[in-house]
Chain A
């Protein structure tokens, strides 16, 4: 298995632009998570899906952030419009059992200038 695949690895964009991050979870995993990691706040859960349905989106910072999971093998996190404070590493993770180990992707390093 190729693991959790995220794209792009790096994204540099100008303030106000739309950014879309993509994730392909491990085949057979039924839960998918989007996290944001910064030096100041560490690892923050943004949203998680179970069987393609959003279960908890309380960590989504504001309406500029949206996430979708149209099928079991693909998810997107969109920021529109982007702001410099959105600069962070965004991780996608998947698992078969929410309370046990997650497998993380390599992350997308987002820089908004």
Chain B
């Protein structure tokens, strides 16, 4: 079993829909949780960063961490075709430990 599980998709939704992307993990000691967005033929870019539990909101994006269920989510409101990309989750034990990555979910927003 991988440490971090993420459905590869693709996930296809109409423009304007609310998108929910998820990752589950097995190591309850993870404390730092991140979401990266990767456009085709580009490097991943950091989208959201959360420490420990709770929610974090940035514009149309909300990141949620549920440590009791070992589950993290990224919500995208009012999705746009420009949100079409692969979204990777990543997490780490502490600020001195390397990131553990999910496989990435390919998201397609249809105009």
- Listed in ascending order, the chain A residues whose CB lies under 8 Å from chain B are 4, 33, 42-43, 45, 48, 56, 91, 93, 97-107, 109
Contacts and interface: CB of A to CB of B under 8 A. Distances in A.
Interface residues of B, number: 22
Contact of A98 (B43, B44, B88, B92): B92
Contact of A102 (B31, B46, B93, B96): B46
Given A98-B96, A98-B99, A101-B34, 11 more contacts: A33-B98, A43-B44, A98-B97, A99-B92, A99-B93, A99-B96, A99-B99, A100-B49, A104-B45, A106-B43, A107-B41
Interface in B82-111: 88, 92-99, 101, 103-104
B75 interface: no
B104 A43 contact: yes
B32 interface: yes
B42 interface: yes
Interface of B: 31-32, 34, 41-46, 49, 88, 92-99, 101, 103-104
Q: Which of B41, B44, B98, B101 has the most CB of A within 10 A?
A: B98
A99 B98 contact: yes
